[in-house]
């Protein structure tokens, strides 16, 4: 309807000179506007049908959450690794990360192969427990805001300062 009256406004000079029946004139404009709109929509549909179909984008939120969890686990593993004894850490780094065999690690460290095996076994066992502990500590240190906001430590500090008596 708005297009019809817009077109009628643009052709208002014709109304004064040539139009005898205003109703018929407006209905004619409405018919032409409807035809033009339908033609335009049909052309648009045909043009859109020629385009290749749009492939949906995958939801990457799960990937982002997975990366965050992986980075937390990696940081916890690094902290846990630093808590191992130096000998256990060296054996773990050579055998697990550097992919050396037991004999090559023993030769590099100048210790017997049996010592490499026992240190690696102890290191793996300790790491399992330490990583769980580090992850639990990291979760406990996370802010717990029910409203999604990070708590402001300044408010706590102000309250604690107000509670002190000045002498």
pLDDT of residue 147: 54
The mean pLDDT of 16-32, rounded to a whole number, is: 87
pLDDT of residue 44: 96
The mean pLDDT of 72-101, rounded to a whole number, is: 89
Under 8 Å between Cβ of 40 and 6 = no
- Other CB atoms within 10 A of residue 106 CB: 20
Q: Is 110 left (phi over 0), alpha (psi -120 to 50) or beta?
A: left
The mean pLDDT of 25-52, rounded to a whole number, is: 94
How high does pLDDT run on average in the chain? 83
> In whole angstroms, how large is the CA radius of gyration of the chain?
38
Question: Which comes out higher in pLDDT, residue 141 or 33?
Answer: 33
Q: Is 127 left (phi over 0), alpha (psi -120 to 50) or beta?
A: alpha
pLDDT of residue 113: 92
pLDDT exceeds 90 at position 36: yes
């Amino acid at each position: 309807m708005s297009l019809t009256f817009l077109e009628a406004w643009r052709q208002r000079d014709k109304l004064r000179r040539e139009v005898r029946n205003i109703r018929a004139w407006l209905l004619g404009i409405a018919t032409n506007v409807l035809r033009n709109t339908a033609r335009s929509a049909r052309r648009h549909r045909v043009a859109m049908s020629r385009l290749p179909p749009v492939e949906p984008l995958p939801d990457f939120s799960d990937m982002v959450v997975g990366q965050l969890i992986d980075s937390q686990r990696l940081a916890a593993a690094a902290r846990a690794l630093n808590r191992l004894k130096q000998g256990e850490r060296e054996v773990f780094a050579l055998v697990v990360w550097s992919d050396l065999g037991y004999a090559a690690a023993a030769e590099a460290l100048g210790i017997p192969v049996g010592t490499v095996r026992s240190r690696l076994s102890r290191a793996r066992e300790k790491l399992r427990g330490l990583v769980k502990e580090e992850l639990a500590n990291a979760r406990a240190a996370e802010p717990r805001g029910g409203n999604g906001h990070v708590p402001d430590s300044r408010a706590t500090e102000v309250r604690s300062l107000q509670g002190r008596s000045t002498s």
